Amino acid sequence: MEMRRTSTAETIRRYGAALLAAIAALLMRSLLAPVLGYQNPYHTAWAAVVFSAWYCGIGPSVLTILVDLIGIWYWFLPPAGSFALADPRTSIAGMLGFVVFSGFIAVFGKSARRSLARSHWAEDQLRNAHAELEGKVLQRTAELRLANESLRELSGHLQQLRDEERRQIARELHDSVGQLLAALSMNMARVQSQSERLDPGVARAVSENAGIVEQIRKEIRTISHLLHPPLLDVAGLASAVRWYVDGFSERSQIKVDMEVPADLHRLSAEMEITIFRLVQECLTNIHRHSGSDSATIAIREEHHTIVVEVKDAGKGIPLDKQMEMRSGRTGVGFRGMRERLRQFGGQLDIQSDSGGTSVSARLPLPPVSNSHLDRQTAS
């Protein structure tokens, strides 16, 4: 119903505009009569027909043609003010020519209006398609962002599960395997105390076995501490990193200088294990790939942010590997470090050239909670 009313109002508006154009053309011709005379009275009528054909449509154009034709016949064709014709042949030919050419103008106007309507329809369709495509892109972007967030949450959860599993394995190695090896070592010591009663070859084998058991016990202890250093829970990050660096330097013969302030506060357990794993991964990469005989580790607090820097003086990372890192196609180690830092809103920056490699991580400190205060008090 509303659309029908709108269509009727639009039709009335178009016919009204065409009628006003025809009347205006007659009035204008009347005003110009002293200048133009009455020889060719169709000048202003052409303008009215063009206007109606272009803006009002074929029906209103016909109305304009009829009104102007009747008006010109009555007022402007001699004798003026009458439908009689002084020169019927000439006047009728002029009126027929006006009607024919006006008809061409009306048809051309209709064709132009139809072409313009098709162009507007195509533009509307293109605009709608663009809006629909943009909406789909926004929807897909939102879905992708949600999927990435879910993936990061899953990655963080897997990291926590992995750390917890390492902690449990380290505890099992220390509590079960370590105790069994200690018992075996005591039994071997009792056998060794009676070595003078044994055959020399057997006594030598017992002594070698005792050394092997002691070596296994040390290896188990080292593996247990590398899986999850107990110092990290008991004494804090600085002590755990110093213990790991001392062992790393002894095993790899790489000199490592540490710069850790003595008043470094205790952090959350998750953040401390993240920083420890970061240092562990960096030193492992230095040992495997850099060829450097020295390294530097700096851990400090700046503007409520923990900054961790690990540098070496090795051969640097090859350019193709750096391009892969910039494009996100990094190795498992760097990807794992980035994922760990992302859980805390941290950032990882890697700079490398022929003079060495520098790895810098920044982790914003969260507000101090009661659990953190308890950890600092306990340490």
pLDDT at position 8 is: 84
The average confidence (pLDDT) of the chain is: 81
Mean pLDDT of 327-337: 67
Q: Tell me the pLDDT band of 328, cut-offs 50, 70 and 90.
A: low
Q: Tell me the pLDDT band of 227, cut-offs 50, 70 and 90.
A: confident
Nearest to 103 by CA among 52, 40, 30: 52
pLDDT 10s digits, 14-45: 889 888 988 998 888 888 877 777 677 888 88
CATH of 229-378 among 3.40.50.620, 3.30.565.10, 3.20.20.70, 3.10.450.350? 3.30.565.10
Lowest mean pLDDT among 10-14, 216-220, 328-332: 328-332
pLDDT 10s digits, 184-210: 778 777 777 776 777 777 778 878 887
Q: Is the pLDDT of residue 136 over 70?
A: yes
Q: Tell me the pLDDT band of 373, cut-offs 50, 70 and 90.
A: very low
**Count of C-beta atoms within a 10 Å radius of residue 147:** 10
pLDDT at position 330 is: 59
Phi, psi values for residue 348, rounded to 5°? -125, 130
Q: Tell me the pLDDT band of 331, cut-offs 50, 70 and 90.
A: low
Spell out the domain ranges in the chain: 2-132, 229-378
Between 112 and 155, whose confidence is greater?
112
Q: Is the pLDDT of residue 81 over 70?
A: yes
Strands 294-301, 255-259: pairing kind:
parallel
pLDDT 10s digits, 90-122: 888 888 888 888 888 888 888 887 888 888 888
